[in-house]
Amino acid sequence: MAEQPDQTAYPVAGDGTMRGTGPGGAKAEATYYTAERVTTARKNIEEHDWAKNLFNRVLEGDEICYYIGPQYGPANFYAECDDEFMWMLQPTTQIGRVLPPESIANCPVHGTAVRSINPFCPYRIDPINNPYKIQCMMGGEWYPSNDYAAGDMTSGKFPDDGNGCLHNGQYYYFLREYAHMVYGSTVIPALRSLSQAYQITGDPRYGRSGSILLARLASEYPNHNDRKDRLYFAKYGGRSPKYAWKTGGMITDLIWETFCLEGAVYAYDGL
Protein backbone atom coordinates (compact mmCIF):
# COMPACT_ATOMS: atom_id res chain seq x y z
CA MET A 1 0.00 0.00 0.00
CA ALA A 2 1.28 3.47 -0.90
CA GLU A 3 2.40 5.57 2.02
CA GLN A 4 -0.28 8.00 3.11
CA PRO A 5 0.64 11.69 3.16
CA ASP A 6 0.88 13.32 6.56
CA GLN A 7 -2.56 14.93 6.81
CA THR A 8 -1.54 17.17 9.68
CA ALA A 9 0.81 18.99 7.27
CA TYR A 10 -2.23 20.53 5.55
CA PRO A 11 -4.28 23.36 7.03
CA VAL A 12 -7.67 22.03 5.82
CA ALA A 13 -9.05 18.98 7.62
CA GLY A 14 -10.94 16.16 5.86
CA ASP A 15 -14.32 17.74 6.62
CA GLY A 16 -13.28 21.00 4.95
CA THR A 17 -12.75 23.05 8.12
CA MET A 18 -9.52 24.88 8.82
CA ARG A 19 -7.44 23.08 11.40
CA GLY A 20 -6.60 24.79 14.63
CA THR A 21 -8.83 27.82 14.19
CA GLY A 22 -11.14 29.37 16.73
CA PRO A 23 -13.82 32.08 16.53
CA GLY A 24 -13.29 34.51 13.67
CA GLY A 25 -10.60 32.32 12.13
CA ALA A 26 -8.09 33.21 14.85
CA LYS A 27 -5.54 30.59 15.74
CA ALA A 28 -6.68 28.29 18.54
CA GLU A 29 -3.80 25.83 18.48
CA ALA A 30 -0.68 24.95 16.52
CA THR A 31 -1.26 23.00 13.32
CA TYR A 32 2.33 22.38 12.20
CA TYR A 33 3.98 22.12 15.63
CA THR A 34 1.79 19.25 16.79
CA ALA A 35 2.43 17.50 20.11
CA GLU A 36 3.77 14.54 18.18
CA ARG A 37 6.27 16.63 16.19
CA VAL A 38 7.45 18.49 19.28
CA THR A 39 7.90 15.22 21.20
CA THR A 40 9.96 13.83 18.32
CA ALA A 41 12.08 16.99 18.19
CA ARG A 42 12.80 16.85 21.93
CA LYS A 43 13.76 13.19 21.65
CA ASN A 44 16.06 13.93 18.72
CA ILE A 45 17.80 16.67 20.67
CA GLU A 46 18.37 14.24 23.54
CA GLU A 47 19.67 11.45 21.34
CA HIS A 48 21.41 12.91 18.30
CA ASP A 49 24.31 15.30 17.83
CA TRP A 50 22.87 16.75 14.60
CA ALA A 51 19.70 17.74 16.48
CA LYS A 52 21.68 19.14 19.42
CA ASN A 53 23.76 21.22 16.99
CA LEU A 54 20.66 22.48 15.22
CA PHE A 55 19.02 23.43 18.51
CA ASN A 56 22.20 25.22 19.52
CA ARG A 57 21.89 27.33 16.34
CA VAL A 58 18.31 28.15 17.40
CA LEU A 59 19.57 29.37 20.78
CA GLU A 60 22.76 31.13 19.69
CA GLY A 61 21.94 32.25 16.14
CA ASP A 62 23.77 32.26 12.80
CA GLU A 63 26.12 34.97 11.64
CA ILE A 64 24.35 37.77 9.78
CA CYS A 65 25.06 38.00 6.06
CA TYR A 66 23.36 39.32 2.96
CA TYR A 67 20.55 38.39 2.46
CA ILE A 68 18.65 35.17 3.07
CA GLY A 69 21.64 33.23 4.43
CA PRO A 70 20.99 33.22 8.19
CA GLN A 71 18.29 30.78 9.26
CA TYR A 72 18.37 31.35 13.01
CA GLY A 73 18.70 34.34 15.31
CA PRO A 74 19.99 34.17 18.92
CA ALA A 75 16.85 33.11 20.83
CA ASN A 76 18.68 33.19 24.16
CA PHE A 77 19.69 36.80 23.61
CA TYR A 78 16.23 37.90 22.48
CA ALA A 79 14.64 36.16 25.47
CA GLU A 80 16.44 38.67 27.71
CA CYS A 81 15.59 41.75 25.60
CA ASP A 82 12.98 44.23 26.74
CA ASP A 83 9.70 44.60 24.86
CA GLU A 84 10.74 47.88 23.23
CA PHE A 85 13.84 46.31 21.69
CA MET A 86 11.82 43.44 20.23
CA TRP A 87 9.18 45.84 18.91
CA MET A 88 11.77 48.06 17.22
CA LEU A 89 13.75 45.17 15.71
CA GLN A 90 11.42 45.33 12.69
CA PRO A 91 11.55 48.89 11.29
CA THR A 92 8.40 50.66 10.19
CA THR A 93 7.58 49.93 6.55
CA GLN A 94 7.13 53.68 6.08
CA ILE A 95 10.89 53.53 5.52
CA GLY A 96 11.43 52.30 1.97
CA ARG A 97 13.69 49.34 1.14
CA VAL A 98 14.64 50.13 -2.47
CA LEU A 99 17.38 52.56 -3.54
CA PRO A 100 17.54 54.53 -6.77
CA PRO A 101 20.25 53.01 -9.04
CA GLU A 102 22.73 55.86 -8.52
CA SER A 103 22.60 55.41 -4.73
CA ILE A 104 23.30 51.67 -4.75
CA ALA A 105 26.75 50.74 -3.38
CA ASN A 106 27.85 54.32 -2.86
CA CYS A 107 29.51 55.58 0.34
CA PRO A 108 29.70 59.29 1.27
CA VAL A 109 33.36 58.87 2.27
CA HIS A 110 34.66 56.20 -0.14
CA GLY A 111 32.33 56.85 -3.07
CA THR A 112 31.81 54.09 -5.62
CA ALA A 113 35.19 52.52 -4.76
CA VAL A 114 33.17 50.35 -2.34
CA ARG A 115 31.80 48.52 -5.38
CA SER A 116 35.12 46.67 -5.60
CA ILE A 117 34.08 44.95 -2.36
CA ASN A 118 30.46 44.33 -3.30
CA PRO A 119 28.64 45.93 -6.26
CA PHE A 120 25.21 45.54 -4.66
CA CYS A 121 25.62 46.02 -0.93
CA PRO A 122 29.06 46.89 0.51
CA TYR A 123 27.50 47.36 3.95
CA ARG A 124 26.95 45.10 6.94
CA ILE A 125 24.52 45.43 9.83
CA ASP A 126 24.61 44.55 13.53
CA PRO A 127 21.06 45.16 14.81
CA ILE A 128 21.94 44.00 18.34
CA ASN A 129 24.91 46.30 19.00
CA ASN A 130 24.23 49.03 16.42
CA PRO A 131 20.51 49.15 15.66
CA TYR A 132 19.42 51.29 12.71
CA LYS A 133 22.99 51.70 11.41
CA ILE A 134 24.94 50.24 8.50
CA GLN A 135 28.71 49.79 8.40
CA CYS A 136 30.83 50.48 5.33
CA MET A 137 32.90 47.36 4.55
CA MET A 138 35.74 49.49 3.20
CA GLY A 139 36.39 51.88 6.09
CA GLY A 140 34.36 50.36 8.93
CA GLU A 141 32.48 53.63 9.55
CA TRP A 142 28.81 53.57 10.56
CA TYR A 143 25.88 55.44 8.97
CA PRO A 144 23.74 57.37 9.58
CA SER A 145 25.36 59.71 12.11
CA ASN A 146 22.11 60.23 14.05
CA ASP A 147 20.71 57.68 16.54
CA TYR A 148 17.37 56.94 14.88
CA ALA A 149 16.55 54.17 17.37
CA ALA A 150 16.74 56.72 20.21
CA GLY A 151 14.52 59.20 18.37
CA ASP A 152 17.40 61.42 17.19
CA MET A 153 16.80 62.35 13.54
CA THR A 154 19.36 65.10 12.89
CA SER A 155 22.74 64.62 14.64
CA GLY A 156 26.09 64.58 12.87
CA LYS A 157 27.31 65.03 9.33
CA PHE A 158 25.26 62.21 7.77
CA PRO A 159 21.78 62.19 9.34
CA ASP A 160 18.95 60.06 7.93
CA ASP A 161 15.41 60.21 9.30
CA GLY A 162 14.27 57.42 6.98
CA ASN A 163 14.02 59.64 3.90
CA GLY A 164 17.70 59.56 2.99
CA CYS A 165 20.70 61.81 3.58
CA LEU A 166 21.59 64.59 1.12
CA HIS A 167 25.36 65.12 1.08
CA ASN A 168 27.23 67.16 -1.56
CA GLY A 169 24.31 66.89 -3.96
CA GLN A 170 24.03 63.11 -3.68
CA TYR A 171 21.37 61.12 -1.79
CA TYR A 172 22.38 58.23 0.46
CA TYR A 173 19.72 55.90 1.84
CA PHE A 174 21.30 54.35 4.92
CA LEU A 175 18.05 53.49 6.68
CA ARG A 176 16.44 52.03 3.57
CA GLU A 177 19.47 49.78 3.25
CA TYR A 178 19.13 48.83 6.92
CA ALA A 179 15.36 48.25 6.73
CA HIS A 180 15.87 46.00 3.72
CA MET A 181 18.64 43.92 5.27
CA VAL A 182 17.30 43.56 8.79
CA TYR A 183 14.01 41.99 7.73
CA GLY A 184 15.48 39.00 5.89
CA SER A 185 18.69 38.52 7.80
CA THR A 186 17.52 39.26 11.36
CA VAL A 187 13.75 39.58 11.90
CA ILE A 188 12.71 36.36 10.16
CA PRO A 189 15.57 34.30 11.68
CA ALA A 190 14.61 35.73 15.11
CA LEU A 191 11.00 34.63 14.65
CA ARG A 192 12.07 31.17 13.51
CA SER A 193 14.34 30.72 16.53
CA LEU A 194 12.00 32.14 19.15
CA SER A 195 9.03 30.06 17.99
CA GLN A 196 11.06 26.85 17.85
CA ALA A 197 12.78 27.52 21.18
CA TYR A 198 9.36 28.14 22.73
CA GLN A 199 7.95 24.91 21.30
CA ILE A 200 10.94 22.84 22.40
CA THR A 201 11.36 24.25 25.90
CA GLY A 202 7.97 25.76 26.79
CA ASP A 203 9.88 28.71 28.29
CA PRO A 204 7.48 31.70 28.06
CA ARG A 205 10.37 34.19 27.68
CA TYR A 206 10.93 32.91 24.12
CA GLY A 207 7.20 33.07 23.44
CA ARG A 208 6.89 36.61 24.71
CA SER A 209 9.80 38.07 22.72
CA GLY A 210 8.68 36.21 19.59
CA SER A 211 5.05 37.29 19.93
CA ILE A 212 6.00 40.96 20.34
CA LEU A 213 8.16 40.84 17.22
CA LEU A 214 5.44 39.01 15.28
CA ALA A 215 2.82 41.55 16.36
CA ARG A 216 5.11 44.35 15.20
CA LEU A 217 5.63 42.62 11.85
CA ALA A 218 1.86 42.20 11.42
CA SER A 219 1.27 45.86 12.26
CA GLU A 220 3.84 46.95 9.67
CA TYR A 221 3.11 44.44 6.90
CA PRO A 222 2.13 46.08 3.59
CA ASN A 223 -0.86 45.12 1.45
CA HIS A 224 -2.42 46.10 -1.87
CA ASN A 225 -5.48 47.78 -0.35
CA ASP A 226 -4.88 50.45 2.27
CA ARG A 227 -1.11 49.88 2.63
CA LYS A 228 0.13 50.22 -0.93
CA ASP A 229 2.40 53.02 0.24
CA ARG A 230 4.39 50.48 2.28
CA LEU A 231 5.02 47.96 -0.51
CA TYR A 232 8.54 47.15 -1.68
CA PHE A 233 8.44 49.45 -4.73
CA ALA A 234 6.00 51.97 -3.21
CA LYS A 235 8.45 54.86 -3.43
CA TYR A 236 8.66 54.28 -7.21
CA GLY A 237 5.00 53.94 -8.15
CA GLY A 238 4.97 50.17 -7.65
CA ARG A 239 7.76 49.39 -10.13
CA SER A 240 11.51 48.90 -9.83
CA PRO A 241 13.34 52.18 -10.53
CA LYS A 242 15.87 50.16 -12.55
CA TYR A 243 13.74 47.52 -14.32
CA ALA A 244 10.30 48.84 -15.28
CA TRP A 245 8.97 45.30 -15.86
CA LYS A 246 9.67 44.37 -12.27
CA THR A 247 6.82 44.83 -9.82
CA GLY A 248 5.64 43.03 -6.71
CA GLY A 249 7.26 42.33 -3.39
CA MET A 250 5.95 43.08 0.06
CA ILE A 251 8.50 44.09 2.69
CA THR A 252 11.23 42.71 0.49
CA ASP A 253 11.65 41.67 -3.14
CA LEU A 254 9.05 39.43 -4.80
CA ILE A 255 11.39 36.41 -4.66
CA TRP A 256 12.90 36.87 -1.21
CA GLU A 257 9.49 37.59 0.31
CA THR A 258 8.38 34.03 -0.46
CA PHE A 259 11.12 32.69 1.84
CA CYS A 260 10.53 35.33 4.49
CA LEU A 261 6.77 34.97 4.63
CA GLU A 262 7.08 31.21 4.99
CA GLY A 263 9.29 31.77 8.02
CA ALA A 264 6.77 34.20 9.52
CA VAL A 265 3.86 31.77 9.00
CA TYR A 266 5.65 28.89 10.75
CA ALA A 267 6.51 31.28 13.58
CA TYR A 268 2.82 32.23 13.88
CA ASP A 269 2.01 28.57 14.24
CA GLY A 270 4.65 28.05 16.91
CA LEU A 271 4.01 31.11 19.05
First to last CA, the chain: 37
State how far the Cα of 223 lies from the Cα of 109, in Å rounded to an integer.
37
Site for Zn ion contains 107 (CB under 5 A): yes
* Residues in CB range of 208: below 8 A, 6 or more apart: 83
Give the shortest CB-57-to-Zn ion separation in angstroms: 32
Q: What are the φ and ψ backbone dihedral angles of 130, each rounded to 5 degrees?
A: -135, 70
Q: Taking contact as CB under 5 A, which single stretch among the options 107-115, 126-134, 162-170, 260-268 is the one that binds Zn ion?
A: 107-115
**Which CB, 138 or 251, lies closer to Zn ion?**
138
37 vs 110, beta carbon nearer Zn ion: 110
By CB under 5 A, residue 156 contacts Zn ion: no
CA triple 186-192-194, angle to 5 deg: 95
Q: For residue 190, what are the contacts with CB-CB under 8 A and spacing of at least 6?
A: 73, 74, 75, 78, 89, 210, 213
Q: Exactly one of 19, 42, 110, 227 binds Zn ion (CB under 5 A); which one?
A: 110
Stretch that binds Zn ion, among 123-131, 133-141, 167-175, 200-208 (CB under 5 A): 133-141
Q: Which is nearer to Zn ion, 101 or 139 (CB)?
A: 139
Count the residues in the chain.
Answer: 271
Whole-angstrom distance, CA of residue 124 vs CA of residue 137 = 7
Residue 109 near Zn ion by CB under 5 A: yes
Q: Is 139 in the site for Zn ion (CB under 5 A)?
A: yes
**Residue 105 engages Zn ion in binding (rule: CB under 5 A):** no
If one asks whether residue 136 binds Zn ion (CB under 5 A), the answer comes out as yes
For residue 236, the one-letter residue type is Y
As measured in angstroms, the least distance from the Cβ of 143 to Zn ion is 8
Closest listed residue to residue 37, CA positions, set 223, 195, 254, 207:
195
Instruction: Return d(Cα 239, Cα 22) in angstroms, integer.
Output: 38
CB of 235 to Zn ion, least distance (A): 24
Q: Does 115 bind Zn ion (CB under 5 A)?
A: no
Provide Rg for the chain, Cα atoms. Answer: 20
Judged by CB under 5 A, the stretch of 3-11, 139-147, 208-216, 235-243 that binds Zn ion is 139-147
Q: How far is the CB of 139 from Zn ion (least distance, A)?
A: 4
Residues 164-223 that bind Zn ion (CB under 5 A): none
Is the CB of 25 or the CB of 140 nearer to Zn ion?
Answer: 140
Residue closest to Zn ion, measured at CB: 136
Q: Let me know: does 235 contact 225? Beta carbons within 8 Å.
A: no
Binding positions for Zn ion, rule: CB under 5 A: 107, 109-110, 136, 138-139
